[in-house]
Amino acid sequence: MTAVDDAAREVPGADQISPAQLREAMGHFATGVTVVTSVGPDGEPVGTTANAVTSLSLEPPLVLVCFDLNSATRSAIRGHGAFAVNVLGHRQRQLSANFAKRGLAAVWDQVRHHRGPTGSPRLADVIAVIECTVEHSFPGGDHEIIVGRVRHIETNGDRCASPLLFWRGDYASIEGQPRALRRR
């Protein structure tokens, strides 16, 4: 253990933070909304809505995604060894809701998709897709952190496309905001 670890453990009240308090505080941090997809052991597509997704490294190209330990998608990724991060646009709230059904399988009947280079499902009309193979995984409390090596990237080519955001427990968008906020 390091001195930093020891100091962090000695913060008064640090062990009294409830899940609800952390969720409330983190809700003030706006995140993009994605659907992470893979292939189940039966060869069928699986997916879940996720906002605990971030770039980790440019060289080598790595992203990380965090999954609840009970996630069927997490299990599928571990078996398949690959996944796709489908970045949703502001008009794709229904798609997000379809894949956010905790404990239920997403309905794929009306979801247009095709298999990408890793075999993982790529959802139609998303603003970007990042396909990865599993590089590492780490425990993270009640979640597992999966690090993926980026193998293929595709964007929809619309530099003005607005992402779907999640903020303070609801969807949000920058659609209609000044152009400087929507592009770099």
pLDDT at position 8 is: 57
List strand residue ranges (DSSP E) for 25-80, in order. Answer: 31-32, 34-39, 45-50, 53-57, 62-68
Q: State pTM to two decimals.
A: 0.82
pLDDT of residue 51: 85
The total number of residues written for the chain in this structure: 184
Work out whether the CA dihedral 145, 82, 107, 51 comes out positive or negative. Answer: positive
CA distance 184 to 174: 14
pLDDT of residue 45: 95
Q: Which residues of the chain have pLDDT under 70?
A: 1-9, 11-14, 22-30, 102-106, 170, 175-184
For residue 24, give the amino acid letter.
E
Task: Please tell me what DSSP assigns to residue 120.
Answer: -
Predicted local distance difference test score (pLDDT) of residue 15 = 73
The whole-number pLDDT of residue 25 equals 66
* pLDDT at residue number 78: 95
Q: Would you state the pLDDT for residue 180?
A: 52
Residue in 44, 155, 47 with CA at minimum distance from that of residue 99: 47
Secondary structure class of 179 (helix, strand, coil): helix
Domains, the chain, ranges and CATH? Answer: 31-54+73-133+153-182 (2.30.110.10)
